[in-house]
Amino acid sequence: MRFHKHDPYLADADMTPMIDVVFQLIAFFMVIINFEATQADERVKLPSSDLARPSKVKPDQELVLNVGYLRDAEGQPIDPDPYVFYAGDEKIRIPDMLAKLKLEAEFFQRKNNLGADDSIPTSVIIRADADVPTGMIQELIMLCREAKFEKFHLKAKAEEPGSS
């Protein structure tokens, strides 16, 4: 029995589209990761300070609290009370935050194998709007302390040199 010898069709692998697709994927994941890392809420207009520099060491555990106003299209606050924008969609008034903070504290205490009365090494990052009354931020810090947090970081927007 004889086999016919076919012309060998060598499939030339075209690398260009593959590289294109791989680059697109890399760019896509870079964008996704950047957005995930910040946990910032765009409704909060941070105060600016020329001394605020991005810290070189990031705390390994952090709890980000965004405090700001609900604003209309012109930027005027709709509600005179500031809210904590919690977990993306939830809006909680500052005096009502204690229950949530206690839940968070419990989570971090379990994560670090701490007792219920131990203070928590987790940093609380406060991103507050420039127009929020200072007393409200102090109250929020007091509530955090009641929930056993003790390290706080106040975020400010870094001013570009010479822009002030």
Partner 1 sequence: MRFARKSGGYQRIETQMAPMIDVVFLLLIFFMLTLKVVAAEGDFSINMPIGAPAPANDELQLPPIKVRLTAGENGELTGVFFNNRQLGNTDVAFERLNTEILTMIGRPGNPLTKDMEVEIDADFGLQYRYTVQAISACTGKVNAKGQPVKYIEKIKFAQPRKPE
Enumerate binding residues for partner 1 (CB under 8 A).
Answer: 16-17, 20, 23-24, 27, 30-31, 34, 38, 40, 46-55, 119, 123, 125, 127-139, 141-142, 145, 148, 150-161
Both tokens of 120, joined, read 């928590």
Tally of CB atoms within 10 A around 153: 13
Q: Which is nearer to partner 1, 75 or 135 (CB)?
A: 135
Give whichever of 38 and 76 is closer to partner 1, judged by the CB atom: 38
Q: Write down the least CB distance from residue 93 to partner 1, Å.
A: 16
Output 3 or 38, the one with its CB closest to partner 1. 38
What is the SS3 assignment for 61?
coil
- What are residue 24's phi and psi, to 5 degrees? -60, -45
The least distance separating partner 1 from the CB of residue 105, rounded to whole angstroms, comes to 11
- Minimal distance in Å, beta carbon 159 to partner 1? 8
- Residue 103: which of 116, 90, 88 has the closest Cα? 116
Closest approach, Cβ 114 to partner 1, in A, equals 13
Of 51 and 73, which has the nearer Cβ to partner 1? 51
CA distance 120 to 126: 16
For helices 98-111 and 134-146, give the axis angle rounded to 10 degrees. 50
